[in-house]
Amino acid sequence: MYAPWVVKYKPKSTSEIVGNAEAIKIFREWLLSWRKGLPRYRAALLYGPPGVGKTVTVEALALELSIELVEKNASDYRTEEAINRFAGLSSQYSSLFGGTRMILLDELDGLTGDADRGGVKAIIEVVKNAKCPVVLTANDAYDPRLAVLRNYCLLIEFKKPPVGEVVKRLKAICIHEGIQADESALKFIAQRSEGDVRSAVNDLQALSQGKTKLTYDDVVWLAYRDRRDTIFNVLRIIFYSRTSFNAKQAVSMADVDLDMLFEWVYENVPAHFNDPHDLATAMHALSMADLYRGRIRATQDWGLTRYVIDHLTVGVALSRQYSKMQGWIPFKFPGRIQALSKSKGERFMQQSIALKVKRRCHISASRAIREFLPYLKIIFQNDAQMAANTAKWLELEDEMISYMAGEKAKAIIALMK
């Protein structure tokens, strides 16, 4: 019988969950603390990217600790009335047979859209008065609309598991399914899933259908998934955090390197800091971060990276003093990176031609681009015969001729035959 592997191999215990051992330990200890009385936090907010094991951890621990789990998707309970109907009464009583009950509101992010009509406020009231554990899950715990709710929750971060641990999980599934899989193929799937274990298992099943052997060639076409939400969450943390600790955490969550993160912050600061004083302070922090970036490039002293991080995250976050929330503001892709991306093809073509010139003229490729390429373009656009002879001598490909000659490329290529 056909069954999705994410269901078939869903972890039944915490020992089967990939990664996040420390987060699971903290959550277990919090659940056990209820046996001694009401803990400081009556709710736990498990947050992190999709597919890293937040919900399955709750379900597995409920089984291990013999806790009755009452589970709902928060996006289905957007109104105050619906929240109170489901979680209000449930959080006040034990299970039918006198055991412990746990309330799980999954995917809290879905509760904070335009359709939310008092849902967050109702959850806060439920949490404040709960007599049993209340668990919430979200991708982004630092959404400004959850600011008050965070004060009543134990925050537990779930991070993307290492590639090696994802590979081990995929290998175990392959052995159970009788599939002989190359290590390189499984590593490729794990890397492309970018820490989303569910996606990795789904990909493995899709790529393995009808096969008893899985090679690297079978998976190499697999494309990167769209993970732009991750950088958006990171930016929200930097722009709206009220503590330096939370702001600095953003760097460890980012899927991009420090230079790319700088570009994202630089591009979006003006839209999210609407007070001139705040904006000036934030831009000063960015200028200091950029100063240290330049010093690192010049001296290769990577110990200065911590100053880049401090100014880029804490410096920007604590600049917000008078700026007001303006509702939802979209994040923009860095303009400077976008410009470079658009010209990437042209730069690649220039470099390819420069390497041909370098080999024939014994000069550097950068000098060929700077000094030779402009003259070659003039020749190719004005003298077809000379261009044909030059193209033969340099062993240029048709694409290179087309780049320099434009509409006259066909005539030059014809003369070369």
At 327-351, the pLDDT tens digits run 667 777 777 766 655 566 677 788 8
Report pLDDT for 222: 57
Report pLDDT for 7: 81
d(CA 123, CA 75): 13
Nearest to 229 by CA among 330, 118, 112: 330
Give the DSSP H or E segment for 309. helix 305-309
For 315-341, letters b (16+ CB in 10 Å) and e give bbbbbbeebeeeeeeebeebeeeeeee
Report pLDDT for 285: 94
Query: Within 13 A of 397's CA, how many CA atoms are on the CB side?
Result: 9
Report pLDDT for 22: 92
Per-residue H/E/C for 319-375: CCCCCCCCCCCCCCCCHHHHHHHHCHHHHHHHHHHHHHHHHHHCCCHHHHHHHHHHH
Cβ distance 87 to 105 under 8 Å? yes
d(CA 305, CA 294): 11
Structure tokens at 39: 């803990």
d(CA 13, CA 64): 7
Report pLDDT for 270: 92
For 273-308, letters b (16+ CB in 10 Å) and e give beeeebbebbbebbebbeebbeebeeeeeeebeebb
Please, what is the end-to-end C-alpha distance for the chain in angstroms? Answer: 62
Nearest to 207 by CA among 183, 186, 176: 186
Structure tokens at 371: 């000094």
The SS3 call for residue 43 is strand
d(CA 54, CA 50): 8
d(CA 161, CA 175): 21
Structure tokens at 287: 């200028």
State pLDDT tens for residues 275-306.
999 999 999 999 999 999 999 888 888 888 88
Residue 136 backbone dihedrals phi, psi, to 5 degrees: -120, 145
d(CA 72, CA 74): 6
- β-strands 101-106, 153-157 pairing: unpaired
> Which residues of the chain carry a pLDDT beneath 50?
1-2, 78, 88-89, 92, 94-98, 112-116, 223-229
d(CA 192, CA 258): 21
Report pLDDT for 155: 93
d(CA 55, CA 106): 7
